[in-house]
Structure 1
Amino acid sequence: MNNQNLVPAAVLAAKNGVRFPNESEEYRIARDRLLAEEIELRRHIERVARQRRALPPGGEVKKDYRFEGSNGPISFSELFADKDTLVVYSYMYGRERERPCPMCTSLLSAWDGEVPDMQQRVALAVVARSPIERLLAFKKERGWHHLPLYSDMTDEYSRDYHAIGRDGSDGAAFNVFTRRDGILRHFWSEEMGEVTADPGEDPRGAPDLMPLWTVLDATPEGRAPDWYPKLSY
Protein backbone atom coordinates (compact mmCIF):
# COMPACT_ATOMS: atom_id res chain seq x y z
CA MET A 1 0.00 0.00 0.00
CA ASN A 2 1.53 3.30 -1.16
CA ASN A 3 0.76 6.05 1.36
CA GLN A 4 0.97 8.65 -1.43
CA ASN A 5 -2.10 7.09 -3.05
CA LEU A 6 -4.20 7.09 0.11
CA VAL A 7 -7.12 9.43 0.54
CA PRO A 8 -6.56 11.60 3.63
CA ALA A 9 -8.18 10.01 6.67
CA ALA A 10 -10.16 13.18 7.44
CA VAL A 11 -11.69 13.07 3.96
CA LEU A 12 -12.75 9.44 4.42
CA ALA A 13 -14.17 10.27 7.85
CA ALA A 14 -16.23 13.10 6.37
CA LYS A 15 -17.81 10.62 3.93
CA ASN A 16 -18.95 8.39 6.77
CA GLY A 17 -22.42 9.88 7.14
CA VAL A 18 -23.36 7.88 10.25
CA ARG A 19 -25.60 9.62 12.77
CA PHE A 20 -27.24 8.40 15.97
CA PRO A 21 -30.47 9.57 17.64
CA ASN A 22 -30.25 12.92 19.44
CA GLU A 23 -26.50 13.35 19.09
CA SER A 24 -25.21 16.93 19.24
CA GLU A 25 -23.21 18.68 16.55
CA GLU A 26 -20.37 18.91 19.05
CA TYR A 27 -20.41 15.13 19.47
CA ARG A 28 -20.43 14.51 15.69
CA ILE A 29 -17.49 16.86 15.06
CA ALA A 30 -15.44 15.17 17.80
CA ARG A 31 -16.49 11.71 16.64
CA ASP A 32 -15.44 12.39 13.05
CA ARG A 33 -12.06 13.62 14.29
CA LEU A 34 -11.72 10.41 16.25
CA LEU A 35 -12.79 8.38 13.20
CA ALA A 36 -9.94 9.94 11.21
CA GLU A 37 -7.52 8.85 13.94
CA GLU A 38 -9.01 5.33 13.91
CA ILE A 39 -8.47 5.16 10.15
CA GLU A 40 -4.86 6.21 10.65
CA LEU A 41 -4.49 3.60 13.39
CA ARG A 42 -5.76 0.89 11.04
CA ARG A 43 -3.27 2.00 8.43
CA HIS A 44 -0.44 1.96 10.96
CA ILE A 45 -1.39 -1.55 12.11
CA GLU A 46 -1.22 -2.68 8.48
CA ARG A 47 2.16 -0.99 7.98
CA VAL A 48 3.58 -2.70 11.05
CA ALA A 49 2.19 -6.07 9.95
CA ARG A 50 3.85 -5.70 6.55
CA GLN A 51 7.13 -4.74 8.19
CA ARG A 52 6.86 -7.79 10.45
CA ARG A 53 6.23 -10.09 7.50
CA ALA A 54 9.28 -8.63 5.75
CA LEU A 55 11.70 -9.48 8.58
CA PRO A 56 14.83 -11.33 7.43
CA PRO A 57 15.16 -14.97 8.54
CA GLY A 58 15.36 -15.32 12.31
CA GLY A 59 17.62 -17.55 14.33
CA GLU A 60 17.64 -21.24 13.44
CA VAL A 61 16.12 -23.53 16.05
CA LYS A 62 18.90 -26.09 16.45
CA LYS A 63 17.54 -27.86 19.54
CA ASP A 64 14.69 -30.30 19.18
CA TYR A 65 12.99 -29.41 22.45
CA ARG A 66 10.92 -32.10 24.15
CA PHE A 67 7.45 -31.64 25.60
CA GLU A 68 4.71 -33.78 27.11
CA GLY A 69 1.26 -33.51 25.57
CA SER A 70 -2.08 -35.19 26.13
CA ASN A 71 -0.95 -38.07 23.90
CA GLY A 72 2.53 -38.43 25.38
CA PRO A 73 6.01 -37.09 24.51
CA ILE A 74 6.35 -34.82 21.49
CA SER A 75 9.28 -32.95 19.97
CA PHE A 76 9.38 -29.30 18.96
CA SER A 77 9.49 -30.17 15.27
CA GLU A 78 6.43 -32.39 15.66
CA LEU A 79 4.42 -29.45 17.02
CA PHE A 80 4.31 -28.08 13.46
CA ALA A 81 2.27 -31.10 12.32
CA ASP A 82 1.36 -30.37 8.68
CA LYS A 83 1.84 -26.59 8.94
CA ASP A 84 4.83 -24.40 8.08
CA THR A 85 4.18 -21.87 10.86
CA LEU A 86 3.96 -22.57 14.58
CA VAL A 87 2.60 -20.18 17.22
CA VAL A 88 3.68 -20.94 20.79
CA TYR A 89 2.18 -19.20 23.83
CA SER A 90 4.05 -19.67 27.10
CA TYR A 91 1.45 -19.91 29.86
CA MET A 92 2.35 -18.73 33.36
CA TYR A 93 1.45 -21.90 35.23
CA GLY A 94 4.77 -23.19 36.49
CA ARG A 95 5.39 -25.82 39.12
CA GLU A 96 5.79 -23.21 41.87
CA ARG A 97 2.33 -21.72 41.23
CA GLU A 98 -0.64 -22.94 43.21
CA ARG A 99 -2.96 -21.54 40.53
CA PRO A 100 -2.27 -20.22 37.03
CA CYS A 101 -1.87 -16.58 36.07
CA PRO A 102 -5.34 -14.96 35.79
CA MET A 103 -4.25 -12.72 32.90
CA CYS A 104 -2.90 -15.64 30.87
CA THR A 105 -6.02 -17.62 31.69
CA SER A 106 -8.29 -14.80 30.52
CA LEU A 107 -6.39 -14.58 27.24
CA LEU A 108 -6.47 -18.33 26.65
CA SER A 109 -10.15 -18.54 27.52
CA ALA A 110 -10.82 -16.04 24.75
CA TRP A 111 -8.60 -17.99 22.36
CA ASP A 112 -10.11 -21.40 23.06
CA GLY A 113 -13.03 -21.02 20.68
CA GLU A 114 -10.74 -19.59 17.99
CA VAL A 115 -8.35 -22.55 17.98
CA PRO A 116 -10.12 -24.48 15.18
CA ASP A 117 -9.93 -21.35 13.03
CA MET A 118 -6.27 -20.67 13.89
CA GLN A 119 -5.36 -24.25 13.03
CA GLN A 120 -6.62 -23.80 9.49
CA ARG A 121 -3.63 -21.51 8.95
CA VAL A 122 -1.00 -22.30 11.59
CA ALA A 123 -0.05 -24.82 14.25
CA LEU A 124 -0.61 -23.73 17.84
CA ALA A 125 0.91 -24.87 21.12
CA VAL A 126 0.33 -23.59 24.65
CA VAL A 127 3.34 -24.46 26.80
CA ALA A 128 3.63 -24.32 30.59
CA ARG A 129 6.15 -25.54 33.16
CA SER A 130 3.76 -27.85 35.00
CA PRO A 131 3.12 -31.58 34.64
CA ILE A 132 0.74 -32.34 31.80
CA GLU A 133 -1.76 -33.94 34.20
CA ARG A 134 -2.02 -30.65 36.07
CA LEU A 135 -2.52 -28.70 32.86
CA LEU A 136 -5.21 -31.05 31.59
CA ALA A 137 -7.01 -30.95 34.94
CA PHE A 138 -7.19 -27.16 34.76
CA LYS A 139 -8.30 -27.33 31.13
CA LYS A 140 -11.25 -29.46 32.26
CA GLU A 141 -11.97 -27.17 35.22
CA ARG A 142 -11.96 -24.12 32.98
CA GLY A 143 -14.13 -25.73 30.33
CA TRP A 144 -11.61 -25.33 27.54
CA HIS A 145 -12.25 -27.56 24.56
CA HIS A 146 -9.61 -26.86 21.94
CA LEU A 147 -6.41 -25.43 23.42
CA PRO A 148 -3.46 -27.80 22.79
CA LEU A 149 -1.51 -27.86 26.08
CA TYR A 150 2.07 -29.06 26.49
CA SER A 151 4.38 -29.41 29.46
CA ASP A 152 7.96 -28.12 29.30
CA MET A 153 9.31 -30.12 32.22
CA THR A 154 12.99 -29.50 31.35
CA ASP A 155 12.49 -25.69 31.17
CA GLU A 156 14.86 -25.66 28.19
CA TYR A 157 12.45 -24.19 25.66
CA SER A 158 11.02 -21.75 28.21
CA ARG A 159 14.48 -20.51 29.16
CA ASP A 160 15.69 -20.07 25.58
CA TYR A 161 12.57 -18.22 24.44
CA HIS A 162 12.17 -15.85 27.38
CA ALA A 163 9.35 -17.46 29.35
CA ILE A 164 11.41 -17.51 32.57
CA GLY A 165 12.33 -14.36 34.45
CA ARG A 166 15.78 -13.58 35.82
CA ASP A 167 14.61 -14.74 39.24
CA GLY A 168 13.38 -18.06 37.81
CA SER A 169 9.72 -17.07 37.89
CA ASP A 170 7.21 -17.66 35.12
CA GLY A 171 6.96 -15.19 32.29
CA ALA A 172 4.37 -15.07 29.53
CA ALA A 173 5.78 -15.24 26.00
CA PHE A 174 4.37 -15.27 22.49
CA ASN A 175 6.66 -16.71 19.83
CA VAL A 176 6.20 -17.54 16.17
CA PHE A 177 8.36 -20.06 14.32
CA THR A 178 8.62 -21.09 10.69
CA ARG A 179 9.61 -24.19 8.77
CA ARG A 180 11.02 -23.38 5.35
CA ASP A 181 12.91 -25.91 3.22
CA GLY A 182 13.12 -28.16 6.27
CA ILE A 183 14.81 -25.51 8.43
CA LEU A 184 13.09 -24.35 11.63
CA ARG A 185 13.58 -20.72 12.55
CA HIS A 186 12.34 -18.22 15.05
CA PHE A 187 10.27 -15.62 13.17
CA TRP A 188 8.97 -13.11 15.72
CA SER A 189 8.30 -12.62 19.41
CA GLU A 190 6.38 -10.00 21.31
CA GLU A 191 9.16 -7.90 22.89
CA MET A 192 7.22 -5.03 24.42
CA GLY A 193 7.25 -4.91 28.23
CA GLU A 194 8.25 -2.86 31.25
CA VAL A 195 11.41 -1.42 29.69
CA THR A 196 9.54 -0.26 26.57
CA ALA A 197 6.51 1.18 28.38
CA ASP A 198 5.73 4.88 28.23
CA PRO A 199 5.54 6.71 31.60
CA GLY A 200 2.28 5.96 33.37
CA GLU A 201 1.12 3.53 30.68
CA ASP A 202 0.44 -0.20 30.89
CA PRO A 203 3.38 -2.13 29.36
CA ARG A 204 1.08 -4.02 27.01
CA GLY A 205 1.99 -5.11 23.52
CA ALA A 206 0.58 -3.61 20.36
CA PRO A 207 -1.64 -4.87 18.95
CA ASP A 208 -2.87 -6.33 22.24
CA LEU A 209 -3.44 -10.09 22.16
CA MET A 210 -6.30 -9.91 24.67
CA PRO A 211 -9.82 -9.31 23.28
CA LEU A 212 -10.85 -8.23 26.79
CA TRP A 213 -8.77 -5.06 26.57
CA THR A 214 -9.98 -4.30 23.05
CA VAL A 215 -13.58 -4.31 24.31
CA LEU A 216 -12.83 -2.28 27.45
CA ASP A 217 -10.84 0.28 25.45
CA ALA A 218 -14.10 1.08 23.62
CA THR A 219 -15.84 2.06 26.88
CA PRO A 220 -15.74 5.38 28.81
CA GLU A 221 -14.21 3.64 31.83
CA GLY A 222 -11.41 2.09 29.77
CA ARG A 223 -9.31 -0.77 31.07
CA ALA A 224 -8.54 0.87 34.48
CA PRO A 225 -4.96 0.66 35.78
CA ASP A 226 -6.02 -0.98 39.05
CA TRP A 227 -8.16 -3.81 37.64
CA TYR A 228 -7.11 -7.15 36.18
CA PRO A 229 -9.00 -10.38 35.50
CA LYS A 230 -9.38 -13.03 38.22
CA LEU A 231 -9.84 -16.77 37.95
CA SER A 232 -13.25 -16.41 39.59
CA TYR A 233 -15.54 -13.64 40.87
Structure 2
Amino acid sequence: MPHDQIVPPETLVPAREMAARNTARVPNESEAYRQARQALLAEEIELRRHIERVAAQRRALPPGAIVDKDYRFEGELGPVDFAGLFGEHTTLVVYNYMYGPQRKRPCPMCTALMSAWDGEARDIEQRVAFAMVARSPIERLWAFKQERGWKALKLYSDMSGDYTRDYASPEDADIPALNVFTRRDGVIRHFWRDEMGESADPGQDPRGAPDVMPLWTVLDLTPEGRGTDWYPELEYR
Protein backbone atom coordinates (compact mmCIF):
# COMPACT_ATOMS: atom_id res chain seq x y z
CA MET A 1 0.00 0.00 0.00
CA PRO A 2 1.41 3.45 -0.84
CA HIS A 3 2.64 5.42 2.16
CA ASP A 4 0.13 8.22 1.57
CA GLN A 5 -2.95 6.02 1.21
CA ILE A 6 -5.20 6.38 4.26
CA VAL A 7 -7.52 3.53 5.19
CA PRO A 8 -11.06 4.72 6.09
CA PRO A 9 -11.39 4.69 9.92
CA GLU A 10 -14.47 2.46 9.82
CA THR A 11 -12.44 -0.32 8.20
CA LEU A 12 -9.65 -0.28 10.78
CA VAL A 13 -9.32 -2.83 13.55
CA PRO A 14 -10.09 -1.03 16.84
CA ALA A 15 -6.90 0.02 18.59
CA ARG A 16 -7.70 -1.90 21.79
CA GLU A 17 -8.36 -5.05 19.80
CA MET A 18 -5.11 -4.60 17.89
CA ALA A 19 -3.23 -4.01 21.15
CA ALA A 20 -4.73 -7.17 22.63
CA ARG A 21 -3.00 -9.17 19.89
CA ASN A 22 0.38 -7.99 21.12
CA THR A 23 2.51 -10.83 22.46
CA ALA A 24 5.61 -8.81 23.40
CA ARG A 25 6.75 -9.37 26.98
CA VAL A 26 9.89 -8.57 28.98
CA PRO A 27 11.38 -10.75 31.73
CA ASN A 28 9.92 -10.32 35.23
CA GLU A 29 7.31 -7.73 34.30
CA SER A 30 4.33 -7.51 36.63
CA GLU A 31 0.70 -7.98 35.67
CA ALA A 32 0.04 -4.35 36.59
CA TYR A 33 2.78 -3.24 34.23
CA ARG A 34 1.44 -5.41 31.41
CA GLN A 35 -2.09 -4.09 31.78
CA ALA A 36 -0.88 -0.49 31.78
CA ARG A 37 1.41 -1.17 28.83
CA GLN A 38 -1.41 -2.71 26.79
CA ALA A 39 -3.59 0.32 27.50
CA LEU A 40 -0.71 2.59 26.47
CA LEU A 41 -0.16 0.57 23.29
CA ALA A 42 -3.77 1.19 22.28
CA GLU A 43 -3.19 4.93 22.71
CA GLU A 44 0.06 4.71 20.73
CA ILE A 45 -1.83 3.03 17.89
CA GLU A 46 -4.43 5.81 17.99
CA LEU A 47 -1.63 8.41 17.97
CA ARG A 48 -0.04 6.84 14.90
CA ARG A 49 -3.40 6.83 13.15
CA HIS A 50 -4.06 10.43 14.09
CA ILE A 51 -0.66 11.46 12.73
CA GLU A 52 -1.59 9.76 9.45
CA ARG A 53 -4.95 11.55 9.34
CA VAL A 54 -3.32 14.92 9.96
CA ALA A 55 -0.71 14.27 7.26
CA ALA A 56 -3.48 13.42 4.81
CA GLN A 57 -5.35 16.61 5.74
CA ARG A 58 -2.16 18.58 5.20
CA ARG A 59 -1.62 17.04 1.76
CA ALA A 60 -5.21 17.96 0.85
CA LEU A 61 -4.75 21.69 1.51
CA PRO A 62 -6.01 23.95 -1.32
CA PRO A 63 -3.39 25.66 -3.49
CA GLY A 64 -1.40 28.09 -1.37
CA ALA A 65 -0.45 31.69 -2.03
CA ILE A 66 1.65 32.41 -5.11
CA VAL A 67 5.23 33.48 -4.42
CA ASP A 68 5.66 36.52 -6.64
CA LYS A 69 8.78 38.16 -5.19
CA ASP A 70 12.28 37.70 -6.57
CA TYR A 71 14.01 36.52 -3.40
CA ARG A 72 17.78 36.33 -3.60
CA PHE A 73 20.19 34.36 -1.45
CA GLU A 74 23.91 33.83 -1.16
CA GLY A 75 24.78 30.14 -1.13
CA GLU A 76 28.02 28.29 -0.60
CA LEU A 77 28.46 28.17 -4.37
CA GLY A 78 27.38 31.75 -5.02
CA PRO A 79 24.17 33.76 -5.58
CA VAL A 80 20.90 31.91 -6.17
CA ASP A 81 17.32 32.98 -6.69
CA PHE A 82 14.31 31.37 -5.03
CA ALA A 83 13.56 29.08 -7.96
CA GLY A 84 17.16 27.93 -7.82
CA LEU A 85 16.62 26.53 -4.33
CA PHE A 86 14.31 23.90 -5.83
CA GLY A 87 16.99 22.38 -8.03
CA GLU A 88 15.36 19.53 -9.94
CA HIS A 89 12.54 19.11 -7.41
CA THR A 90 8.95 20.34 -7.38
CA THR A 91 8.83 20.73 -3.59
CA LEU A 92 11.12 22.79 -1.37
CA VAL A 93 11.49 22.71 2.42
CA VAL A 94 13.14 25.80 3.94
CA TYR A 95 14.21 26.14 7.57
CA ASN A 96 15.06 29.56 9.00
CA TYR A 97 17.53 29.05 11.81
CA MET A 98 18.61 31.44 14.52
CA TYR A 99 22.02 32.74 13.56
CA GLY A 100 21.52 36.38 12.77
CA PRO A 101 24.38 38.90 12.73
CA GLN A 102 23.52 39.98 16.30
CA ARG A 103 24.36 36.52 17.64
CA LYS A 104 27.88 35.59 18.64
CA ARG A 105 27.02 31.90 18.25
CA PRO A 106 24.08 30.04 16.65
CA CYS A 107 21.06 28.92 18.62
CA PRO A 108 21.89 25.61 20.36
CA MET A 109 18.38 24.26 19.74
CA CYS A 110 18.56 25.00 16.02
CA THR A 111 22.04 23.50 15.96
CA ALA A 112 20.85 20.27 17.59
CA LEU A 113 17.99 19.99 15.10
CA MET A 114 20.20 20.69 12.09
CA SER A 115 22.84 18.24 13.28
CA ALA A 116 20.21 15.52 13.20
CA TRP A 117 18.97 16.67 9.81
CA ASP A 118 22.50 16.63 8.40
CA GLY A 119 22.48 12.87 8.72
CA GLU A 120 19.12 12.65 6.91
CA ALA A 121 19.60 15.39 4.30
CA ARG A 122 20.70 13.07 1.49
CA ASP A 123 17.67 10.88 2.10
CA ILE A 124 15.31 13.88 2.27
CA GLU A 125 16.72 15.25 -0.97
CA GLN A 126 15.79 12.08 -2.82
CA ARG A 127 12.24 13.41 -2.55
CA VAL A 128 12.38 17.20 -2.02
CA ALA A 129 14.79 20.13 -1.97
CA PHE A 130 16.04 21.09 1.50
CA ALA A 131 17.52 24.50 2.38
CA MET A 132 18.75 26.12 5.61
CA VAL A 133 18.46 29.93 5.68
CA ALA A 134 19.88 32.44 8.18
CA ARG A 135 20.54 36.18 8.22
CA SER A 136 24.31 36.09 8.76
CA PRO A 137 26.79 36.36 5.86
CA ILE A 138 27.41 33.08 4.07
CA GLU A 139 31.07 33.07 5.18
CA ARG A 140 29.94 32.99 8.80
CA LEU A 141 27.41 30.23 8.13
CA TRP A 142 29.97 28.17 6.24
CA ALA A 143 32.54 28.52 9.03
CA PHE A 144 30.12 27.13 11.59
CA LYS A 145 29.18 24.31 9.22
CA GLN A 146 32.83 23.31 9.13
CA GLU A 147 33.09 23.57 12.90
CA ARG A 148 30.13 21.23 13.40
CA GLY A 149 31.24 18.84 10.70
CA TRP A 150 28.01 19.13 8.74
CA LYS A 151 28.38 17.49 5.34
CA ALA A 152 25.03 17.47 3.58
CA LEU A 153 23.06 20.53 4.70
CA LYS A 154 22.82 23.34 2.14
CA LEU A 155 23.18 26.76 3.75
CA TYR A 156 21.96 30.09 2.37
CA SER A 157 22.26 33.65 3.59
CA ASP A 158 19.24 35.96 3.35
CA MET A 159 21.29 39.13 3.53
CA SER A 160 18.48 41.44 2.39
CA GLY A 161 16.03 39.91 4.87
CA ASP A 162 13.22 40.01 2.31
CA TYR A 163 12.47 36.29 2.54
CA THR A 164 12.83 36.23 6.34
CA ARG A 165 10.39 39.11 6.83
CA ASP A 166 7.80 37.46 4.59
CA TYR A 167 8.05 33.87 5.82
CA ALA A 168 9.61 33.94 9.29
CA SER A 169 9.14 37.28 11.07
CA PRO A 170 7.70 40.55 9.74
CA GLU A 171 9.83 42.30 12.36
CA ASP A 172 12.97 40.52 11.09
CA ALA A 173 13.34 38.85 14.48
CA ASP A 174 15.85 36.05 14.85
CA ILE A 175 13.33 33.21 15.19
CA PRO A 176 13.01 29.76 13.61
CA ALA A 177 10.49 28.99 10.87
CA LEU A 178 9.78 25.96 8.72
CA ASN A 179 8.10 26.49 5.34
CA VAL A 180 7.21 24.22 2.44
CA PHE A 181 6.79 25.45 -1.13
CA THR A 182 5.72 23.81 -4.37
CA ARG A 183 6.54 24.48 -8.00
CA ARG A 184 3.93 23.30 -10.49
CA ASP A 185 3.81 24.33 -14.16
CA GLY A 186 6.37 27.04 -13.45
CA VAL A 187 4.31 28.59 -10.63
CA ILE A 188 5.79 28.65 -7.12
CA ARG A 189 3.30 28.56 -4.25
CA HIS A 190 3.51 28.42 -0.51
CA PHE A 191 2.19 25.07 0.74
CA TRP A 192 2.57 24.95 4.54
CA ARG A 193 4.25 26.66 7.48
CA ASP A 194 4.59 25.68 11.12
CA GLU A 195 2.24 28.10 12.87
CA MET A 196 3.39 27.52 16.42
CA GLY A 197 2.54 30.93 17.82
CA GLU A 198 1.07 30.63 21.32
CA SER A 199 -0.07 27.05 20.82
CA ALA A 200 1.85 25.39 23.66
CA ASP A 201 -0.32 24.03 26.47
CA PRO A 202 0.25 25.11 30.10
CA GLY A 203 3.56 23.88 31.46
CA GLN A 204 5.03 23.26 28.00
CA ASP A 205 7.76 25.08 26.17
CA PRO A 206 6.81 26.42 22.73
CA ARG A 207 6.84 23.60 20.24
CA GLY A 208 5.57 22.91 16.78
CA ALA A 209 3.01 20.33 15.81
CA PRO A 210 4.30 18.15 14.33
CA ASP A 211 7.50 18.37 16.34
CA VAL A 212 10.29 17.78 13.83
CA MET A 213 13.14 17.51 16.36
CA PRO A 214 14.41 13.90 16.71
CA LEU A 215 15.94 14.75 20.08
CA TRP A 216 12.52 15.20 21.67
CA THR A 217 11.13 12.10 19.97
CA VAL A 218 13.73 9.99 21.78
CA LEU A 219 13.42 11.78 25.13
CA ASP A 220 9.63 11.43 25.03
CA LEU A 221 10.18 7.65 25.25
CA THR A 222 11.95 7.95 28.61
CA PRO A 223 10.63 8.30 32.18
CA GLU A 224 12.44 11.64 32.54
CA GLY A 225 10.83 12.99 29.38
CA ARG A 226 11.92 16.32 27.95
CA GLY A 227 12.26 17.93 31.35
CA THR A 228 11.44 21.54 32.12
CA ASP A 229 14.87 23.12 32.53
CA TRP A 230 17.17 21.40 30.04
CA TYR A 231 18.14 22.52 26.55
CA PRO A 232 20.84 21.42 24.12
CA GLU A 233 24.18 23.22 24.23
CA LEU A 234 26.75 23.84 21.55
CA GLU A 235 29.40 22.13 23.68
CA TYR A 236 29.32 19.71 26.58
CA ARG A 237 32.00 19.37 29.21
TM-score range, shorter chain: over 0.9
Q: Distance in 2 between matches of 1:153 and 1:34?
A: 48
The aligned residue for residue 180 of structure 1 is: 184
Q: Distance in 2 between matches of 1:169 and 1:76?
A: 21
Is the 2:75–2:156 Cα contact (8 Å) retained in structure 1? yes
The TM-score, its normalising length taken from structure 1, stands at 0.97
State how many pairs are aligned: 230
The code of the aligned residue for 2:191 comes to F
Please state if 1:214 is matched with 2:217: yes
The TM-score, its normalising length taken from structure 2, stands at 0.95
Structure 2 gap ranges (5+): 1-6
The code of the aligned residue for 1:230 comes to E
The aligned residue for residue 117 of structure 1 is: 123
Q: Distance in 2 between matches of 1:37 and 1:136?
A: 44
CA shift, 1:207, in A, is 2.1
In the TM superposition, 1:86-101 aligns within 5 A as 86-101=92-107
Give me the identity figure in percent.
68
| Per-residue deviation, residues 31-78 of structure 1 (Å, max 9, x unmatched) | 000000000000000000000000000000001200000111000011
In the TM superposition, 1:4-23 aligns within 5 A as 4-23=10-29
In the TM superposition, 1:1-233 aligns within 5 A as 1-162=7-168, 164=169, 166=171, 168-193=172-197, 195-233=198-236
Structure 1 gap ranges (5+): none
SS of the residue corresponding to residue 92 of structure 2 reads strand
CA shift, 1:165, in A, is 6.4
Is the 2:158–2:164 Cα contact (8 Å) retained in structure 1? yes
CA shift, 1:20, in A, is 0.4
| Per-residue deviation, residues 60-116 of structure 1 (Å, max 9, x unmatched) | 000120000011100001111100000000010001100000000000000001111
The code of the aligned residue for 2:190 comes to H
- Aligned in 2, Cα 1:48/1:225: closer, same or farther, shift over 3 Å? same
CA shift, 1:198, in A, is 1.4
SS of the residue corresponding to residue 182 of structure 2 reads strand
Q: Distance in 1 between matches of 2:22 and 2:211?
A: 27
Q: Distance in 2 between matches of 1:71 and 1:104?
A: 23
| Per-residue deviation, residues 142-170 of structure 1 (Å, max 9, x unmatched) | 010010000000000000002x364x430
The code of the aligned residue for 2:186 comes to G
Is the 1:165–1:171 Cα contact (8 Å) retained in structure 2? no
CA shift, 1:202, in A, is 2.4
SS of the residue corresponding to residue 42 of structure 1 reads helix
CA shift, 1:203, in A, is 2.1
Q: Distance in 2 between matches of 1:13 and 1:202?
A: 32
Q: Distance in 1 between matches of 2:233 and 2:105?
A: 11
Q: Distance in 2 between matches of 1:86 and 1:17?
A: 42
